[in-house]
Chains A and B, each alone.
Chain A
Amino acid sequence: MSSDFPTEPLLFFNSAEAITVDALAAQIIPSEADSPGAHEAGVVFYIDRALAGFMRDLRPLYRRGLQTLSDLSNKSFGAEFSALTDEQQRQLVETLDARAKADPDDFAGQFFRIVGEHSVQGFFGDPAYGGNRDVVGWKLVGFPGAQWGYSAEQMQPGVDARRIPISTVADLYARIRKVSS
């Protein structure tokens, strides 16, 4: 437990739930040696904060979903999802995806889709929401983020947009503070 214990305060999940969601998000957007994924982006912290606020109506759904995932995992592999090997986790995720495809009303499949959507939000949304840390999501795809605007030169064909320094909502706040002081 101790080394897995969350590195920062949780607002909704307990630590076991956070570890499970982190593991599931990591199957949706995996980490690679030279390329961060959902884990490094802090997707679990995005989801945790969203459930403590904007998405509070989905709390019962997450609790039920995590229980369903735990049951499935224990039934298939005799252990909690977060304790499975990468290969076992992948197999389980494939099962969930297949269930979602076969029956849109299947709850386990639906829960997987929901965590998928929220992982995408946490990976590609502004870092102000607790995910996309070090703007790893934007770096991955070449999105310059929250920019005040782009010049006519930057709008030309053939421009390598990865050379535009990435900016966040917080950077735009700083810019406005600077201009007005």
Chain B
Amino acid sequence: MTEKFDVIIVGLGASGGIIAEQLTAAGVRVLGLEKGADYTQDDFAVKQDELRYYQRGAIVSGGTVDPVTWRADNTSVARLFPWSAGVLGSDEPLYGMPAIGVGGGTLHWAGAAYRFREADFRMRSAIAERFGESSLPEGSTVADWPISYADLEPYYEKAEWEQGYSGSAGNIKGEFAPGTNPFDPPRNRDFPMPPVQQCPGDVPWVAATERLGMHPFRQPLAMNSVEYKGRPACVNCGFCHGYPCHVAARSSTHVTSVPAAKLTGNLDLRPHSRVIQVNRTPDGKRVIGVTYVDSAGETREVEAPIVILSAYALENARLMLVSGITGRGQVGANFMTHNFGWFASILPEATNPFLGTFNASSAIDDFTSEMVPDNDLGVLWGSPVISVTGDLQPIEAVHLMNPAVQKYGLEFKHWMRDNYTHMHRMYSQHTNFPYKRHYVDLDPLIKDSLGVPAIRITHAWEDHDANSVELFGGIKQRIAQEMGAKETWMDSPRPPYHLSTHDVGVHRMGYDPEASVTDPFGAVHDIEGLYAVGGGSFVSYGGYNPTETIQALAYLSAENLLERWGARST
């Protein structure tokens, strides 16, 4: 007999974990299907190992499990992500898909917990108002969101307080505290915790940006700075981004929402269970369940009137496409990702870059989003500039080192000896407009071990991306100079990667089924009971990290699901 549930959740990561918690607390019987492991804290007791987690990507799926292919345009043959999959490549967690396993990407994220600002939700209108309609890049499908910042504000707050975020809010109901971010969007309430311990290398950056008249603020992080909800404060071990947390100080649904969902007794969680198809009624108009391959390799069918796809954005698109769900051609459309514009400096003082977590440092919002400075490069949308001074181990440092320096011999050895402890980095996250020509679909040639086609990315860096890196490279150079940097270098404006755990927008939200895949709550148009949630629903992509918005949207979806499910059960 086919097993039946109230709701099936596919992927227990940043969103799936939250939705599972919210639904099970209300008495909904949930089946959670997770393709990776359900790790225990003991699994991560000693994780301070750069080879295991960073160079060999112990908890990410990598190209052999979940292959991703890429091509620059639709006339080329896609190859397995060439920036990572070659013999020289490694599974560095930054340039692949996030971890699989309960917690998903939140198992190893750096925890940068930014809200989007008001203007980010109306990017198209804001650009048209400032630069004119005609300034929008040709062929871009950039649009305003169907929801506003104000709509999402209560859910942002919920994510911050429920999931445990630390920081120092700037704008609380219009009140600005000194030393906080004067460009912060208005919020109802401060963070539940103050910022984590600052890395020493951030101190000269803060001083330099202040001297330049900028407004540095401590970054909000999904990381405990004090004990919170039974989890301890961060111990500053410096093996954070790409690594699991050994003390559970990082907010991950693996230690926040999923344990709570388990306690209700309403969550049937099945790890190592890979969904291969979404099943619908013969007319295709209603979802009836999913087919998955269990940990023993058996193919199983399970049923529920509601199925929520909360895997990674690209995986959501892949699952819909292999199930014949194309959303009038919208599934997979509008792929967006970040270009980071990495900029490195060697500072006169020691930064001890191995200390602390990746973002235990500051940022400026002076040039973010609609506040992009006037420029001749045609850059229409700005980004925060972020200081990174922690979480840098020596092998990664070699990968990041000045490309002008020879990578062998005494020159190499002495460079590392003299400079490693003085390295400082900056990055920004550049707006990648959606275009028709940037999309994901199923690779016609490459399949995973179960025979499911790989997801194929078609994406190239456009002039706007490269020009954004150039424009902000100038700002970074000014800051580096002000810090007295002895040596600086910058990433290519058109870097080799096109996948970075920041990939969004392949099942856009909206009200028009001809131009979007889901409604703002994640309900897929034209298919009753099917939801797709996460970064895939983003309409545009400014310079902030995606996860807090993903988590806020998950709370919004859960609330809506409960309203609809409540109506169903009466």
Are A124 and B236 in contact, CB atoms less than 8 angstroms apart? no
Are B413 and A143 in contact, CB atoms less than 8 angstroms apart? no
Which residues does chain B contribute within 8 Å of A148, judged by CB atoms? Answer: 48, 235, 237, 246
Which residues does chain A contribute within 8 Å of B236, judged by CB atoms? Answer: 149-151, 154-155
| B351 CB to nearest A CB, Å | 9
Number of chain A residues close to chain B: CB under 8 A? 52
- CB proximity to B under 8 Å, residues A60-110: 61, 90, 93, 97, 110
CB < 8 Å: which of A32, A37, A58, A146 contacts B49? A146
Cα A126 to Cα B540 with chains together (Å):
42
Are A176 and B45 in contact, CB atoms less than 8 angstroms apart? yes
* B247, B355, B397: residue with the most chain A Cβ atoms closer than 10 Å: B355
Cα A28 to Cα B356 with chains together (Å):
30
Are B49 and A114 in contact, CB atoms less than 8 angstroms apart? no
B486 close to chain A: CB less than 8 A: no
Quick one: given A138-B394, A158-B350, are A27 and B408 in contact (CB under 8 Å)?
Answer: yes
Q: Which of B32-40, B96-104, B193-201, B504-512 contacts A (4 or more CB under 8 A)?
A: B193-201
Are B409 and A125 in contact, CB atoms less than 8 angstroms apart? no
Q: From B392, which residue of chain A is reached at the shortest CB distance?
A: A143
Are B413 and A29 in contact, CB atoms less than 8 angstroms apart? yes
B462 close to chain A: CB less than 8 A: no
* Bitwise interface map of B from 406 to 442 toward A, beta carbon under 8 Å scored 1, else 0: 1111101100110011000000000000000000000
Cα A147 to Cα B355 with chains together (Å):
10
Cα A121 to Cα B52 with chains together (Å):
11
| A174 CB to nearest B CB, Å | 10
Quick one: given A61-B87, A113-B88, A150-B237, are A126 and B51 in contact (CB under 8 Å)?
Answer: yes
Cα A146 to Cα B394 with chains together (Å):
12
Which residues does chain B contribute within 8 Å of A176, judged by CB atoms? Answer: 45-46
Cα A177 to Cα B526 with chains together (Å):
57
Q: From A154, which residue of chain B is reached at the shortest CB distance?
A: B355
B402 close to chain A: CB less than 8 A: no
Cα A141 to Cα B237 with chains together (Å):
18
Which residues does chain A contribute within 8 Å of B56, judged by CB atoms? Answer: 54
B354 close to chain A: CB less than 8 A: yes
Which residues does chain A contribute within 8 Å of B393, judged by CB atoms? Answer: 124, 143
Which residues does chain A contribute within 8 Å of B51, judged by CB atoms? Answer: 121, 125-126, 129
Are A158 and B200 in contact, CB atoms less than 8 angstroms apart? yes
How many inter-chain residue pairs (CB < 8 Å) link A and B? 128
CB < 8 Å: which of A93, A117, A137, A145 contacts B409? A93
Number of chain B residues close to chain A: CB under 8 A? 45
CB < 8 Å: which of A29, A58, A155 contacts B198? A155
Cα A113 to Cα B398 with chains together (Å):
13
Which residues does chain A contribute within 8 Å of B246, judged by CB atoms? Answer: 148
A169 close to chain B: CB less than 8 A: yes
Cα A124 to Cα B412 with chains together (Å):
13
CB < 8 Å: which of A140, A158, A172 contacts B349? A158
Quick one: given A126-B51, A147-B48, are A155 and B200 in contact (CB under 8 Å)?
Answer: yes
Are B395 and A142 in contact, CB atoms less than 8 angstroms apart? no
Are B237 and A147 in contact, CB atoms less than 8 angstroms apart? yes
CB < 8 Å: which of B49, B349, B412 contacts A29? B412
* B51, B198, B421: residue with the most chain A Cβ atoms closer than 10 Å: B51
- CB proximity to B under 8 Å, residues A13-55: 27-30, 32, 35, 37, 54
Q: From A100, which residue of chain B is reached at the shortest CB distance?
A: B407
A159 close to chain B: CB less than 8 A: yes
Which residues does chain A contribute within 8 Å of B406, judged by CB atoms? Answer: 97
A144 close to chain B: CB less than 8 A: yes
Are B200 and A156 in contact, CB atoms less than 8 angstroms apart? yes
Are B398 and A120 in contact, CB atoms less than 8 angstroms apart? yes
A165 close to chain B: CB less than 8 A: no
CB < 8 Å: which of B87, B200, B235, B354 contacts A143? B354
Cα A120 to Cα B48 with chains together (Å):
18
| A126 CB to nearest B CB, Å | 5
Quick one: given A121-B51, A159-B352, are A58 and B87 in contact (CB under 8 Å)?
Answer: yes
Cα A120 to Cα B355 with chains together (Å):
21
Cα A157 to Cα B407 with chains together (Å):
30
* Contacts A116-B407, A155-B355 supplied; 4 other A-B pairs, CB < 8 Å: A121-B55, A124-B395, A126-B51, A141-B420
4 tightest A-B CB contacts, nearest first: A149-B235, A146-B48, A124-B394, A157-B200
23 inter-chain pairs at a CB distance below 8 angstroms, sorted by A residue, are A54-B56, A61-B87, A97-B406, A116-B407, A117-B88, A125-B55, A129-B51, A138-B394, A141-B417, A141-B421, A148-B48, A148-B235, A148-B246, A149-B236, A149-B247, A155-B198, A155-B199, A156-B200, A157-B200, A157-B350, A161-B421, A169-B49, A176-B45
Which B residues fall within an 8 A CB radius of A? Answer: 45-46, 48-51, 55-56, 87-88, 197-200, 203, 234-239, 246-247, 349-350, 352, 354-356, 393-395, 397-398, 406-410, 412-413, 416-417, 420-421
